[in-house]
A and B are shown apart, each in its own frame.
Chain A
Amino acid sequence: MSFYPLLIVLLLMSAVGYWFGSKKALNTVRKSSNFLTPRPHQFGLYVVIWALVPPVILGGIWAILQVTPIQMDTGAMRQIDRVVFPVILLLAAGAGLYFSILRINPDLRVRKTIEGLIYVILILASIISILTTLGIVLSLLFETIQFFGKVPMSEFFFGLTWSPQTALRTDQVGSSGAFGSIPLFTGTLLITFIAMCVAVPLGLLSAVYMTEYASSRFRSVVKPMLEILAGIPTVVYGFFAALTVGVFFRDLGDSLGIDVVSESALAAGVVMGMMIIPFVSSLSDDIIMAVPQSLRDGSYGLGATKSETVRKVILPAALPGIVGAVLLAVSRAIGETMIVVMAAGFAANLTANPLEAVTTVTVQIVGLLVGDQEFDSAKTLAAFALALVLFIVTLCLNVIALIVVRKYREKYD
């Protein structure tokens, strides 16, 4: 029996169970003089739980067994899958139904069962986030270990050339392709650095202006407008960077007699910075707001102007928090994908010149995994290794930033 008929039969069974359960509860209470604590429909639900939970658990186990790579005799397997398994499932449901209806009496505390089940479901839902993290770590780690079986770790972390394509062309695995990821890391850092040069001053200064100078009306109009920048999809920024900003910088370079490629790190970095401005500004906004008013009042009382207060009192007091905000922004920039995929280069280029094309970790992950994949080639596995590095770096940055920000908050609470 395939999935949908099975599901329909199970649902029908539970509907019947619901009806019988509620009816029997009403009947028993009529016969006895006892007071029925739970309401009749809760008895119905109780029966449904007993009818559905065993098959669902069995089905879950079965589904997990099916995706595990245990190879069994396919003929027998199909037989089990088609006949034996649905029969067991329906038997379990029937047994649950029968015994739960049998047990119904007015003294049965069915609400406890129902609430217990709901509690379990809530915990299971919460555990999904842990499972997600676990899934990320395991899937990345598994492929990365395979990758390091083909390419030595020293080459990956210290090699200066990156050209994974050659590994595919010749049939030798690993040995012919170059998997030195240093150019990718430097490229990522270069673009991130440019992005920060744009985002941090603009974001910080606008946060200072918003909190210290702007009227509440100005704030209520301008702040949502700045937030629009954060809501625009990254693919739109990528298109903008590739088609408008890249060409603009190239033409500007031409008119100044400087050679700027249209896929320059500068264009990607500037546009990425533009995307991060609201991120930096709203984070620093919160942090500047958290600086106690007494510090400001003390400074004004000593005769300092507003700008002197900001520069000499507020910013130093808020510095740890701002550092945390910048770290979060850096991790955001490192993990950003679409802007660099569309506007940065693809060839690994070890340079610190922002006018040349560089490539980044995320660009390479996309480049290696889009299109046909074979899961035994070093080329595909390299993407997972890069992603693991990316995951670990952003995770560390976030953890450090969160600790810094929390310490800072505690200081003024």
Chain B
Amino acid sequence: MTDQAQKEGGNAWQSEAFLKNLKKRKRSERRFRLTGLLAILTALTLLAILLFSIVSKGYTAFVQTFVTLDITFAEEVIDPNGTLDPAELRSANYNKLVQNALREKFPDVKGRRDLRRLFGLVSGDANTKLRKMVENDPELIGKTIPVSLLAGDDVDMVKKGYIDRNLVEDDRRVKDKELAWLDVLEADGDIKLHFNTGFFTNGDSREPEKAGIAGAMVGSFYTLVITMVIAFPIGVMTAIYLEEFAAKNKLTDLIEVNINNLAAVPSIVFGLLGLAIFLNVAHMPRSAPVVGGLTLALMTLPTIIIAARAAIRAVPDSIRQAALGLGASKQQAAFHHILPLSMPGILTGTIIGLSQALGETAPLLMIGMVAFIADIPGGFNDPATVMPVQIFLWADSPERAFVEKTSGAIMVLLGFLILMNAFAIFLRKKFERRW
């Protein structure tokens, strides 16, 4: 182009062809820059959509619908013999009280099918709640008081607006009659949304309104404790050995290559390792946090080692030389001086490794932590599940109400991850030293 411009004579920098070309180049420059910005925006938009879809589906999981009914604690149901015997109080049929209250409220309902639908408005959990009330205060017997009871999951879904009333009745899970009853209750102000404490205190349940993440949270806690207790010391010791003591030889090279490769092994392979070694060879209990913790420890070990090595390498050599110069042994220099100085970095790396372990699902599926477990685990050997696996299990459940539970559990899990990462960032900001 410049050749041509020179042939034409005159100032080549002002020729029409050159200016045109310059304009084109500038346009393409702008386009390129815009493409880059668009790529970032697209990625961030995807993130926003993900978070929005989770939050918009899940925020309702933190409230739950309650139905207030006038419960008559009839003596002939609870304690027909009038003995106030605790065993009798415990075995009484409290559902009957709820059923009576509902019948009283809706005297027109007849027929077994309709009655069953009517009783379905209140969750099976009411039984336990009423029993506890009577056990705490036997004076209640014979009285009639309004009690706020957990509603069934269908009622909950209607109240939260997840069920489309305009749908044809046959396509709808909640039928017209139930909607009519609900409207009556709603008009009387008997249906209310309360904060869902059960979500944080209950174990898993087949009934969505009763299901909570307490069991999964406790399971995750036990699992992470094992992971930390195993992975942290071993990771730190490996890092110290490789950085401070290891001679340059074949063994050291082998260990280094190994660690780098282990960091990139798919997590599910660690699950198979756990299955083959811990369950089939060592016969450890299935579904137990101890096995999950061990498996995750092997998985997070490379992350911790790599972070710890970087932190140890960042300590300047002068510290080492000064310690050795004052007569410290190599180990004293390492353990008394270098390790404390690199601890913030090591801890940051460990927390990030643990937060990965907290979100990990696949290897735990392999070692049987995917079973339905309603009880809250009480120890390292109890069958348990962890939060990501609970999310996976709920995501598989067909009930509509589990969608919001799943999203709610995801929000709690993300909350924990944010806390852990924020703590790691805090540690780094607070203790990081630039040498």
Contact = CB atoms under 8 A, between A and B. Distances in A.
Contact of B395 (A127, A238, A332): A238
B231 to A, nearest CB: 10
Contact of B238 (A126, A143, A366, A391): A126
Nearest to A218: B40
A35 to B, nearest CB: 15
A233 interface: yes
Contacts of B282: 67
Interface string B385-400: 0001101100100000
Contact of A122 (B42, B245, B298): B245
> Main SS of chain A's interface residues?
helix
A383 B32 CA distance: 46
B336 to A, nearest CB: 13
Interface in A348-394: 362, 365-366, 369-370, 375, 383-384, 387, 390-391, 394
A132 B42 contact: no
A379 B158 CA distance: 44
Contact of A129 (B238, B358, B360): B238
A118 interface: yes
A244 interface: yes
A229 B392 CA distance: 19
Contacts of A204: 39
A130 B267 contact: no
B104 to A, nearest CB: 41
Interface string B265-284: 11111101101110011110
A132 B273 contact: yes
Given A213-B33, A391-B265, A239 B391 contact: yes
Interface in A238-286: 238-240, 242-244, 274, 277-278, 281
Contacts of B44: 222, 225-226
A402 B392 CA distance: 34
A399 interface: yes
> Main SS of chain B's interface residues?
helix
Contact of A387 (B49, B268, B331): B268
Interface string A154-189: 000000000000000000000000000000000000
A132 B363 CA distance: 15
A410 interface: no
B359 A235 contact: yes
B388 A390 contact: no
Interface of B: 25-26, 28-29, 31-33, 35-40, 42-44, 46-47, 49-50, 53-54, 57, 233-234, 237-238, 240-242, 245-246, 254-255, 258-262, 264-270, 272-273, 275-277, 280-283, 298, 301-302, 305, 329, 331, 355, 358-362, 365-366, 370, 388-389, 391-392, 395, 403, 406-407, 410, 413-414, 417, 421
28 contacts: A111-B329, A125-B233, A128-B238, A129-B255, A132-B262, A139-B272, A213-B36, A222-B44, A229-B43, A231-B421, A234-B362, A236-B359, A236-B410, A238-B395, A243-B57, A274-B50, A277-B46, A308-B29, A337-B267, A338-B361, A342-B395, A362-B362, A365-B366, A369-B275, A387-B268, A390-B266, A390-B268, A398-B261
4 smallest CB-CB distances across A and B, nearest first, come from A335-B266, A209-B36, A233-B359, A139-B276
